[in-house]
Chain A
């Protein structure tokens, strides 16, 4: 394959990138190339040694490495080109890719279409503004996960975890099993940030205290973390006076949310949705830049890896079709987040074909009705920010849409105070 005749280039080889590349190849794109900055395919799956992957995609309970292995085998079998240890440094609006590695130096590629599959990264202490000193011993949960599961280091002996995201809870279990004392998981909201499954199997199973409506208000220690002060928070998430208590610990893990990684997208002129942090995409996961598609956590942060791969497959399919100059029809209707909806993906739909919408709510509510304009409504017993909503709309339902914009909303509920 000459570098000049690449049909589809995929940036990233996690569960999104590999799925997109495989689908693009199966869709008939001859030359598919994956660019990966690590030394192996799989992205973050290597460090996610726990199970719970692939329950929907493979209908099997797999671990992260097993899930990645299945895709990697297929990438090899299909003859998809892979450039490892290759960092993409720039993408231009006319789909020129600049990349660099230590074998070839600087590479310039001009694929017919591009799939963005860079995933997301963790929010860190700098984005939280936790007061106190700056000692060693403060990590994001994912960094600790890499230390423990890939490199073989234990980050500390007495741990407090701030935030109840899935990785934080999973690390609480992992560290406990490795003999580390997990003193508490502290969550500012009245409910957990991750999945109920993880609350039960990671916290309850090991009797790890979960402190809801609490946060870390101060960090103590000079060289190494010595303690944190935690306090109760009020409804505005502000610490309440005289509720502070000091917890002695040498390690603080942060599991406080993920941010889609879109520096390259920005360079390419891709418009980002401030609500998701990812590109604005249409039903085929094409961005506003013609021929640049996106899928997986780079678009919005998913709960389940299965959904990441499925979404990236849409991007892969249409990137391949774009490379063959088969373009999707451009009639677009805009989806708008309404009452208690934080975001909805895709942001625009064709209204001619079946579509699955992914949405996240702002607040937990019970006994609600989920509505898409006046074409769809479904009663739900509960909606939670930590559990993504999936709404399948058929083309016959969509044909009833009259306006150019349709609102997605959650209606008629009594708000629940405590999770």
Chain B
């Protein structure tokens, strides 16, 4: 019922023959088509307008990777969530599985930016690290200024 305007894999007899990839190298956003052979090899790239674009779509076809970002639950912290990321890109096909893995992980303060939260995510050799500090409970520090309280910044 719904017209899909995302790139499609065109298949014939169970075998992929075409893949459409949009180049993200520049605002042009070329919509390229890759002709795929019987062993999954790229026979031809159509629709690109520069050589970097061609290289990008070939790499995106062979090895599509993404930085994975998410949030995990916390314990004993005023913030219910801690934002995290992978320190290196992972295969884009693993993003969903990666999210499910993190459901069971909880962060306990203190946590510093860049601290490893989970090592070797899905045996990929990539670590999940914190992208923000996590403090136990806020500390109210009084700074001299006629008894005026200034809360420590907690970012």
Contacts and interface: CB of A to CB of B under 8 A. Distances in A.
A190 to B, nearest CB: 11
A200 interface: yes
A76 B153 CA distance: 9
Contact of A65 (B5, B73, B83): B83
Contacts of A245: 1
Contacts of B155: 40-42, 46, 65, 68-69, 72
A66 B84 CA distance: 10
Contacts of A149: 71, 81, 83
A76 B133 CA distance: 15
B150 A82 contact: yes
Contacts, number: 121
Contacts of A384: 27
Given A63-B69, A204-B22, A210 B5 contact: yes
Contacts of A199: 22, 29
Contacts of A326: none
A89 interface: no
Interface string B121-153: 000000000011100001000000100111101
Contacts of B83: 46, 49, 63-65, 149
Contact of A209 (B4, B80, B149): B4
B4 to A, nearest CB: 5
A72 B153 contact: yes
Nearest to A207: B6
B22 A66 contact: no
A379 interface: no
A197 B60 CA distance: 13
B40 interface: no
Contacts of B66: 201, 205
Given A184-B2, A211-B2, A381-B49, A387 B27 contact: yes
Contacts of A75: 153
Nearest to A389: B27
A196 interface: yes
Given A151-B80, A152-B81, A203-B6, A51 B69 contact: yes
Contacts of B85: 49, 51, 63, 66
Interface in A174-204: 177-178, 184, 196-197, 199-201, 203-204
B69 A209 contact: no
A46 B132 CA distance: 8
A83 interface: yes
Contacts of B132: 46, 65-66, 69
Given A40-B155, A381-B49, A61 B67 contact: yes
B108 interface: no
A39 B151 contact: yes
B37 interface: no
B43 interface: no
B131 A49 contact: yes
A245 B27 CA distance: 32
A85 B22 CA distance: 44
B7 interface: yes
A258 interface: no
A204 to B, nearest CB: 5
Contacts of B26: 381
A40 B78 CA distance: 13
A208 interface: yes
Nearest to B96: A177
Contacts of A207: 4, 6
A68 B49 CA distance: 36
B71 A49 contact: yes
B24 interface: yes
A51 B6 CA distance: 22
Interface in B1-52: 1-7, 22, 24, 26-29, 49
Nearest to B81: A152
B65 to A, nearest CB: 11
B118 interface: no
A179 to B, nearest CB: 8
A151 B81 contact: yes
Contacts of B131: 49, 62-63, 65-66, 69
Nearest to B140: A103
A178 B81 contact: no
Interface in A26-49: 39-42, 46, 49
Contacts of A201: 24, 66
Interface in A387-401: 387
Contacts of A41: 153, 155
B15 to A, nearest CB: 20
Interface of A: 1, 39-42, 46, 49-51, 61-66, 68-69, 72, 75-76, 82-85, 103-104, 148-152, 177-178, 184, 196-197, 199-201, 203-205, 207-212, 245, 381-384, 387
13 contacts: A40-B153, A40-B154, A42-B155, A46-B155, A82-B153, A150-B79, A151-B81, A177-B95, A196-B27, A204-B6, A205-B95, A212-B5, A381-B26
When A and B form their complex, which 8 residue pairs have the shortest distance between CB atoms, in order from nearest? Answer: A196-B29, A65-B132, A49-B83, A152-B80, A387-B27, A72-B155, A63-B131, A51-B67
Given A49-B131, A75-B153, A245-B1, 6 more contacts: A39-B151, A82-B153, A203-B6, A205-B95, A210-B6, A381-B28
